[in-house]
Amino acid sequence: MKLTLKIWRQKNQLDKGHFDLHQLDNISDDMSFLEMLDVLNDSLLREKKEPVAFEHDCREGICGACSMVINGRPHGPQDLTTTCQLHMRKFNDGDTIVIEPFRAKSFPVIKDLVVDRSSFDKIIQAGGYISINTGQAQDGNAIPIEKELSQKAFDAATCIGCGACVAACPNGSAMLFTSAKVSHLALLPQGEVEHTKRVKSMVSQMDAEGFGMCSNTGACEVECPKGISLENIARMNRQYMASMFTS
């Protein structure tokens, strides 16, 4: 497979940045997208050129580090898939592939395709945890929890914090991420106790980080590699409104 890669290159946050064109030959259909970038970087190093900086860790769709926009879509053209799980068979011989970092004010570019997503960490630090004393660890089934609630909590907990929702949103909103983190704790008995304080703190921090407002376009849910539902945003909005009338 022959490909033309149009890749964003940016030295640092202050650099204006630009697109570079690269030609690749003999790319296997069975390669993952990141393996294809490894091939590109290997050829650049052999030519004594600067390799393309991109972030990765597990390469198994777990860590959410492989965040990039491919042909205008966060993580690329395949639904419910992270960049590292995307394979080159999703592209055609002779294709031109445009590769960019996530574009959001709250995700400043560190270098090339690497962005700073520490704003997500600050939202979690503001309240994405349980701090009450729950005593000694209990057996898993000691507290009866309705199947529907436990399933919703688990579905919300699958969020990997990759930032695709922010990159897909025309407003750069982090509502899907924040609501998933609020929901997966608030739906369970251990986390419900602090849900009022949690939702206030996390929404406040989200706003402080400069994320935009949610306008319910639904792009976040479409591009989320884990299929996090917009239902979580509605739930968080209800909890936030209720928290305004409680201490």
**Tens-digit pLDDT profile for the chain (247 aa)?**
999 999 999 999 999 999 999 999 999 999 999 999 999 999 999 999 999 999 999 999 999 999 899 999 999 999 999 999 999 999 999 999 999 999 999 999 999 999 999 999 999 999 999 887 767 766 766 778 889 999 999 999 999 999 999 999 999 999 999 999 999 999 988 888 899 999 999 999 999 999 999 999 999 999 999 999 999 999 999 999 998 887 5
Is residue 230 a part of any domain in this protein? Answer: yes
* 186 shares its domain with 126: yes
Is residue 24 a part of any domain in this protein? Answer: yes
* pLDDT score for 143: 78
* 19 shares its domain with 93: yes
* pLDDT score for 241: 93
DSSP 34: H
* 125 shares its domain with 48: no
Which structural domain, as residue segments, surrounds residue 26? 3-111
CA distance 1 to 26: 5
* 122 shares its domain with 48: no
Query: CA 40 → CA 1, 22, 60, 90, distances in Å?
Result: 14, 8, 21, 18
Is residue 136 a part of any domain in this protein? Answer: no
* 126 shares its domain with 80: no
Say whether 24 sits in a helix, a strand or coil. strand
Q: Which CATH number characterizes residue 15's domain?
A: 3.10.20.30
* 156 shares its domain with 73: no
Tokens of 44: 């650049």
* 11 shares its domain with 106: yes
Is residue 21 a part of any domain in this protein? Answer: yes
Provide the domain count of the chain. 2
* 80 shares its domain with 123: no
* pLDDT score for 189: 87
Query: CA 51 → CA 11, 16, 103, 183, distances in Å?
Result: 11, 18, 21, 40
Query: CA 183 → CA 17, 141, 148, 174, 198, distances in Å?
Result: 38, 20, 13, 14, 10
Is residue 137 a part of any domain in this protein? Answer: no
Say whether 167 sits in a helix, a strand or coil. helix
* 12 shares its domain with 51: yes
Write down the pTM of the prediction. Answer: 0.92
Q: Which CATH number characterizes residue 123's domain?
A: 1.10.1060.10
* pLDDT score for 247: 59
Is residue 81 a part of any domain in this protein? Answer: yes
